[in-house]
Structure 1
Amino acid sequence: MKNVFRILIVSLFFVACQPKIKPAEIVKLNGYWEIEKVVLAEGKDKEYSMNENFDYFEIDKTNKGFRKKVMPQLDGTFLVNDTYENVTVRFADDKVFLDYATPYMKWSEELIALSDDELVLKNKEKKEYHYKKTGSINLLDDGKTTK
């Protein structure tokens, strides 16, 4: 019985110490994110060493915005198409969710972690998507600044 009580106390400690994302921190979501790995529900990692696409988020003060897939180019620019997902940030039960909508479907992901250089999202299949903040890549070194 004592062991059960100890396990319960330790579990509550870890849950209570989990950092909570505040509404003012949502602005950190804006920008370009490159996926680093996916942690599958059974605990296995799938690493991504190089990506052809980045996710670009733009969320306004009303917690609404969009996510687009963009393709970085060697000159530091991005190829962009007209496809995007509407995003709404939702706070519920001490958790933060990103609710996506397209003309064809709707879904949500839980925002697990958000900092200046890290983003972790979890979907309903319990897959965790780990991203790092990124920007343009200019391998041509032509001296031009990128937008």
Structure 2
Amino acid sequence: MKKKLSLVFLVSICFGCSQKVDISKTDTINGYWQITKALNTNGDKKDYPINEVYDYYEIKGKTGFHKKVTWQPDGVFLVNDLSESVKLSNNSEGVFIQFRSKFGKHTEKIESISEKELVLETPDKAKLYFSKVILNTRK
């Protein structure tokens, strides 16, 4: 019985201490991000050590857009006309990014966000880890 109570206590501490994403601080998402790893619900992990395609977000307030851009060795990004509109929303479960394009729509939960890392949870509960890309703009 003591072991069960200890386990319940530890689990409640872990959930009670987890920080929620503050929707007013989500301007950190603006910029270039590269995926570093993905974890599915079975615990399978896929690492992405090298990326040519980055995710670019530009959000003002709670709306904006997301697009994929391709990095070139000269430091320039190739872009195309494809983009998704994005809208930030929140409820009791957390902060979400709603993606919409002419091809479809989906929603991902922002698990955590900082100046250096973004973690998104997909509808099938997979976790996607992104690292902020710092551009060298000196010429």
TM bucket normalised to smaller: over 0.9
> Deviations for 1:44-103, whole angstroms, at most 9, x for unmatched residues?
210011111000001102x11111000011111110001011111111115111111112
Compute the RMSD of aligned alpha carbons: 1.5
1:97-145 CA-partner distances (Å, limit 9, x unpaired): 111111231111110010000000010111110000003468xxxx72x
Residue 69 of structure 1 is matched in structure 2 by 68
Matches within 5 A, 1:1-80: 1-61=1-61, 63-80=62-79
Would you tell me which structure has more strand in proportion to its own residues? 2
Distance in structure 2 (CA, Å) of the matches to 1:5 and 1:85: 47
User: Does structure 1 residue 129 correspond to structure 2 residue 128?
Assistant: yes
Identity between Structure 1 and Structure 2 (%) = 33
SS of aligned partner of 2:115: coil
- In the alignment, the residues of structure 1 paired with residue 7 and residue 43 of structure 2 have an alpha-carbon distance, to the nearest angstrom, of 22
Q: Alignment partner of 2:98: what SS?
A: strand
**Alignment partner of 1:110: what SS?**
strand
Q: Is residue 100 of structure 2 the alignment partner of residue 101 of structure 1?
A: yes
Structure 1 residue aligned with 2:116: 117
* Structure 1 contact 64–89 (Cα < 8 Å) conserved: yes
2: CA distance, partners of 1:27 / 1:9: 35
Alignment partners' CA distance in 1, 2:135 and 2:70? 10
**TM-score normalised by the chain length of structure 1:** 0.88
Q: Work out the number of aligned pairs and report it.
A: 139
Unaligned runs of 5+ in 2: none
**AA matched with 1:21:** V
Are the aligned partners of 1:72 and 1:137 in contact in 2 as well (CA < 8 Å)?
no
CA contact (8 A) 1:29 1:57 kept: yes
CA distance in 1, matches of 2:56, 2:115: 14
